[in-house]
């Protein structure tokens, strides 16, 4: 779907369908839509169908105009009650409307800025969110299907129409293309099965992004990881016959070489059986998306590269499977990590922290980050605590955590902070090593982050984002169809873009 802007009088607007919004329990249209209807579709206000339209959230009423109408379809989209307004309601309603256009094979969708009259946000924000919702709400993954595949390429155009100039539109088109492209990449990678998205495939995607946008690219195999002392990563990887890959991509445009980089770390377990501490068979197939943290980092780098953001950004993605095997690491093993700290393995199913600790330690020693964010499907406890719409947020720097939370909320990515008090570490102490890789069952999300905290100096601002719940939508949310969400990409891109060198 392509973007286009049309500026001029109502009479210059043409398309196959036009969208307008309506509030529940309000009998009149806002001034802008009412003016368009008076001039271009006077028949609409007299339609008896309006009496049946309640304008509930995402409710859609479609009108067909008379023969020869410049715009043959008018679509009214409900926003619910005005008091319940949110950008999330707006995104959901817009996504469902554009998806309805796809079902009707509508090629050109008109999105008039006049439709935004009376909505409690700026035109720029609303146009951006509508475009994001339209592009992401049409997402489907059917690459591996051979039958019953719907291949509609409609709508072909999303036309932003206005009576006057919209100076923000060209940059907005560029931004939405870049960010939605990054999210779609993250969704593709997390949706595809583990025999398709292997550590090698993740490295290939990283190499493609680096080549396309002039980024530096490195990949370590298991021998190199051993040489660097990445004992946690090696321990998890040694049970798999699929070659492990520790991937590094650095975006460093000319003129920012001396910047301390923003470092993004993504957990890349391309399939997680639990290892020797094997998981139950039920729902194990979902463990193909245990690499969603790494996918989000790749999606972010894709968007950062397309936008050529003048900020040094480094992405580290330790990628491997976690498999049971004669050579797999075992409960009771003691592992020496990159930081030199020793870890007693209690559960091999706590593998995410074992690979992340080496990535965090390596990032600190090599890059001296301005700040560091890791994303990981780390704990089932996070799903129990926060559900599937809110990510857990923990770290050592209050300003960074606040910035992430405030950045994500208007973009539709929600984060909730959890504490990291020192006493949470007590149950992780070991008799034979510096500490264990799990504590008892209490506060699982917090103790997972407490483990990672041991590998990050207090002088390095760091945030840990547990996306175990948010990575996958079990039901259709409009702009997030059922399936992989691409959670984190929007927030990370905006975080990088808006960061000004200090927290």
- Report the 3 state secondary structure along 337-366: CCCCCEEECCCCCCHHHHHHHHHHHHHHHH
pLDDT, residue 50, reads 83
Global pTM value = 0.96
CA dihedral 396, 402, 403, 406 (to 10 degrees): 150
Give the separation between CA 64 and CA 91, rounded to whole angstroms. 24
Asked whether this chain's domains 2-165 and 176-498 adopt the same fold, the reply is: no
Query: The sheet that has 334-336: what strands, in order across it?
Result: 334-336, 342-344, 435-436
Q: Is 353 a catalytic residue?
A: yes
pLDDT, residue 42, reads 87
CA dihedral 375, 380, 384, 387 (to 10 degrees): 40
Query: Is 476 one of the annotated binding-site residues?
Result: no
Query: Is 27 one of the annotated binding-site residues?
Result: no
The answer to whether the CB of 437 falls within 8 A of the CB of 345 is: yes
pLDDT, residue 239, reads 97
390's enclosing H/E stretch is strand 390-395
- Among the four given CATH numbers 3.50.50.60, 3.30.70.580, 3.40.630.10, 1.10.1040.10, the one describing domain 176-498: 3.40.630.10
CA dihedral 417, 421, 427, 430 (to 10 degrees): 110
Residue 178: how many other CB atoms lie within 10 Å:
19
Query: Is 302 one of the annotated binding-site residues?
Result: no
pLDDT, residue 89, reads 97
56, 201, 226, 279: the catalytic one is 279
pLDDT, residue 455, reads 99
Query: Is 123 one of the annotated binding-site residues?
Result: no
pLDDT, residue 176, reads 98
Strands 157-162 and 108-112: parallel
pLDDT along the chain (503 residues), means of 10: 95 94 87 89 84 92 88 95 96 98 96 94 97 97 83 91 96 98 98 98 99 99 98 99 99 96 99 98 96 99 98 99 98 98 98 99 98 98 97 98 98 98 96 96 96 98 98 96 98 96 86
Give the separation between CA 85 and CA 320, rounded to whole angstroms. 43
Query: Is 351 one of the annotated binding-site residues?
Result: yes
pLDDT, residue 490, reads 98
**For the chain, what are the domain ranges?**
2-165, 176-498
Q: Is 82 a catalytic residue?
A: no
100, 184, 245, 353: the catalytic one is 353
Topology, domain 2-165: 3.40.220
Total residues belonging to the chain:
503
Strand partners, 269: 320
């Amino acid at each position: 779907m392509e973007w286009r802007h049309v500026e001029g009088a109502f009479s210059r607007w043409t398309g196959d369908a036009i969208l307008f919004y309506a509030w529940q329990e309000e009998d009149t249209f806002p001034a802008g839509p009412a003016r368009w209807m008076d001039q271009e579709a006077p028949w609409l206000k007299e339609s008896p169908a309006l009496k049946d339209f309640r304008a509930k959230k995402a409710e859609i009423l479609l009108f067909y105009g008379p023969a020869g109408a410049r715009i043959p379809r008018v679509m009214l989209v409900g926003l619910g009650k005005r008091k319940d307004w949110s950008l999330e309601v707006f995104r959901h309603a817009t996504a469902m409307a554009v998806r309805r256009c796809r079902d009707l094979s509508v090629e050109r969708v008109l999105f008039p800025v006049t439709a935004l009259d009376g909505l409690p946000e700026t035109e720029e924000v609303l146009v951006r969110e509508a475009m994001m919702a339209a592009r992401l709400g049409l997402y489907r993954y059917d690459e591996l299907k051979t039958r019953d595949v719907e291949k509609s390429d409609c709508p072909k155009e999303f036309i932003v129409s206005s009576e006057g100039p919209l100076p923000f539109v060209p940059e907005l088109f560029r931004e939405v293309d870049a960010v939605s492209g990054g999210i779609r990449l993250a969704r593709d990678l997390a949706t595809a099965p583990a025999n398709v998205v292997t550590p090698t495939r993740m490295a290939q995607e990283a190499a493609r992004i680096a080549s396309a946008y002039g980024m530096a690219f490195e990949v370590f195999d298991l021998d190199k990881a051993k040489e660097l002392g990445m004992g946690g990563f090696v321990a998890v990887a040694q049970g798999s016959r699929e070659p492990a890959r520790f991937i590094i991509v650095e975006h460093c445009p000319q003129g920012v070489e001396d910047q301390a980089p923003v470092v993004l770390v993504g957990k890349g377990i391309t399939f997680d059986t639990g290892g020797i501490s094997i998981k139950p068979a039920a729902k194990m197939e979902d463990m193909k998306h245990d690499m969603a943290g790494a996918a989000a980092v790749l999606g972010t780098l894709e968007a950062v590269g397309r936008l050529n953001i003048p900020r040094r950004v480094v992405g580290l993605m330790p990628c491997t499977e976690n498999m049971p095997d004669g050579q797999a690491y075992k409960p009771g093993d003691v592992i020496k990590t990159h930081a030199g700290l020793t870890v007693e393995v209690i559960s091999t199913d706590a593998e995410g922290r074992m690979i992340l600790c080496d990535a965090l330690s390596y990032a600190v020693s090599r890059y001296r980050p301005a700040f560091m964010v890791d994303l990981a499907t780390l704990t089932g406890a996070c799903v129990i605590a926060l559900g599937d719409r809110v990510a857990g947020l923990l770290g050592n720097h209050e300003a960074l955590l606040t910035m992430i939370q405030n950045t994500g909320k208007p973009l539709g990515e929600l984060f909730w902070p959890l504490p990291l008090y020192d006493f949470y570490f007590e149950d992780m102490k070991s008799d034979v090593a510096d500490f264990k890789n799990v504590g008892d069952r209490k506060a699982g999300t917090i103790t997972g982050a407490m483990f990672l905290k041991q590998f990050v100096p207090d002088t390095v601002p760091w945030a840990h984002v547990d996306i175990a719940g948010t990575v996958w939508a079990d039901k259709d949310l409009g702009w997030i169809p059922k399936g992989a969400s691409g959670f984190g990409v929007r927030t990370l891109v905006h975080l990088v873009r808006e960061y000004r060198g200090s927290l």
